[in-house]
Structure 1
Amino acid sequence: MARYFFHVADGKITIDDVGTDLPDMDRVRRESVRTAGQMLSDGDQSWGGEAWRMVVADEKGTIVFGVNISIDRHGL
């Protein structure tokens, strides 16, 4: 199993210095989407109209996956 780090850029940079052990890239993708969804449902992200991004890096620091999130407030 390899360790992956889930970093978030949402106006500030949050570095994951602990990481998560995952067996393959399918699990990395699923964990990325699950974690981003959890952050959204928990209200962890403030929505000032700016998009935010989660990038996943492997143990070497190579970015292997990314999730971009933006919300359009039409009519609000």
Structure 2
Amino acid sequence: MPRYFFHTQNGDCVRDEQGEELKNMDAAREEAVAVLGEILRYRGASFWTTGAFSVIVTDAEGQTVVSVTAAASDQAPEGWTLAGEV
């Protein structure tokens, strides 16, 4: 099974030196989302001072295969509207 490494970034990069063997890329994507969710749950309200948090997944050769980022803002995303809004 391939080994994937789940590095985190929020101003400081924390390298995953151990990695995890997973069945395939879909499993790596699921794990990246789970890792990010755990980080956000742990950070709680202090996430607002961080602004953004990323999980960058690399393969055994060090190539980025997927990344996922959560960003905090007091503003709605550009183009966002409620359904039926005029």
Q: Smaller-chain TM-score range?
A: 0.7 to 0.9
Partner residue, 2:73: 72
Partner residue, 1:22: 22
Structure having the higher helix fraction is 2
Say how many residue pairs are matched.
74
Partner residue, 1:12: 12
Q: Structure 1 regions of 5+ residues with no counterpart?
A: none
Q: Which moved more, 1:28-37 or 1:39-48?
A: 39-48
Q: Is the Cα contact below 8 Å between 1:49 and 1:72 reproduced in 2?
A: no
Q: Which amino acid aligns with 1:50?
A: G
Q: Which amino acid aligns with 1:36?
A: L
Aligned identity (percent) is: 32
SS of 2:67's equivalent?
Answer: strand
Partner residue, 1:37: 37
CA RMSD across the alignment:
1.7
Mapped to 2, the partners of 1:23 and 1:46 lie a distance apart of 31
Q: Which amino acid aligns with 2:8?
A: V
* TM, length-normalised to structure 1: 0.86
State the Cα distance separating 1:49 from its structure 2 match. 4.9
* TM, length-normalised to structure 2: 0.77
Is the radius of gyration larger for structure 1 or structure 2?
Answer: 2
Larger relative CO (CA 8 A, sep 6+): 1 or 2?
1
Runs of 4+ more than 6 Å apart: none
Q: Structure 2 regions of 5+ residues with no counterpart?
A: 76-86
